[in-house]
Amino acid sequence: MTTAAPTHWRKSSRSSTQTNCVEVGRTAEGAAVRDTKDRAAGYFAVSGPQWRAFVAALKADRFG
């Protein structure tokens, strides 16, 4: 999977006042996700198609 470190980390604008959230970063192959409370713990990365499928599922409320 990804060998280069993720860049352009950001969190949801809906989390602006929250401290318990996740951040999403870009990778050459897709996206990476990390916990804002423990950024040093690392991240997990997914491919572009995996990320798009996840976002589509969120928008379709498949996790109810």
**Segment-wise mean pLDDT, segments of 10 residues, the chain, 64 residues:** 79 76 93 91 95 95 90
Q: Is residue 2 part of a domain?
A: no
CB 54 within 8 A of CB 45: no
* Residues paired with 26 in a beta bridge: 7, 31
Specify the number of domains making up the chain: 1
- 48 domain-assigned: yes
- Rounded CA-CA distance 11/62 in Å is 21
pLDDT, position 23:
92
Q: Which domain holds residue 42?
A: 7-59
